[in-house]
Chain A
Amino acid sequence: GAVVSQHPSWVICKSGTSVKIECRSLDFQATTMFWYRQFPKQSLMLMATSNEGSKATYEQGVEKDKFLINHASLTLSTLTVTSAHPEDSSFYICSARDGREGGGLSPLHFGNGTRLTVT
């Protein structure tokens, strides 16, 4: 089945630094990828929709200058958390849909997530 790879799995960084998270679709092309954030014991909240070759679409309340998204190719989207603060510590998960899957709307396939800890 479709595989989405996310890297790194976890990262610890100091407050004020930037962290880049990569999301790759390994065996399919994805014109759209979705970035979610999950706080401990909470649900997944959509942060932004990453569009290949164009600007990302951010959800209300998500700072686009803080969470930079680049979708430069059909298999790679990156999320950069700039000037990270402890409150940015969370589990970030990317997802993509394999358009080749039939039967209507294909499910989102998720990466394994990145646990970010900002000290």
Chain B
Amino acid sequence: AQKVTQAQTEISVVEKEDVTLDCVYETRDTTYYLFWYKQPPSGELVFLIRRNSFDEQNEISGRYSWNFQKSTSSFNFTITASQVVDSAVYFCALSEAAGRRALTFGSGTRLQVQP
């Protein structure tokens, strides 16, 4: 069975601070995919990043960066110089590479960026 754990329920930071959102996953599959989605107050889910299990390279996209470590089954997400617009719930998700390939979501981390 697959499981995604986001231990941080809620994080509050002040604008311009850096913040890291943790994600730990469990799966028996050797090939799988990890995702991060953002859900702003309006409710829609916005895709941020996808990573497959064979690619452990870290990725940076603007103020966002992701650190994937298979050894610790973690896929953490860092926002540098946070902004008020970053306030949202962030979900980490896992999918098997074959079969139905539905996403299993973590419980989400609510990020509040104060001005």
Q: Which residue numbers of A lie inside 8 Å of B, CB to CB?
A: 32, 34, 41-46, 49, 57, 91, 93, 95, 97, 103-113, 115
Contact = CB atoms under 8 A, between A and B. Distances in A.
Residue in A45, A104, A111 whose Cβ sees the most chain B Cβ within 10 Å: A104
Given A42-B107, A105-B33, A112 B44 contact: yes
Given A97-B101, A104-B50, A110-B37, 18 more contacts: A32-B100, A34-B103, A43-B105, A44-B91, A44-B103, A46-B102, A46-B103, A46-B104, A57-B100, A93-B45, A95-B45, A95-B103, A103-B50, A104-B97, A105-B101, A108-B35, A110-B45, A113-B44
Main secondary structure, interface of A, reads strand
Contacts, number: 56
Nearest to A109: B47
B44 A105 contact: no
Interface in B84-115: 91, 95, 97, 100-108, 110
A95 B101 CA distance: 12
B62 interface: no
A106 B106 CA distance: 19
Given A110-B44, A113-B43, A104 B101 contact: no
Contact of A112 (B43, B47, B104, B106): B43
B100 A105 contact: no
| Interface pairs A-B: 8 shortest CB-CB | A110-B45, A107-B47, A43-B107, A112-B44, A105-B33, A44-B105, A43-B105, A113-B43
Interface residues of B, number: 23
B96 to A, nearest CB: 9
B52 interface: yes
A91 B50 CA distance: 24
Residue in B95, B100, B103 whose Cβ sees the most chain A Cβ within 10 Å: B103
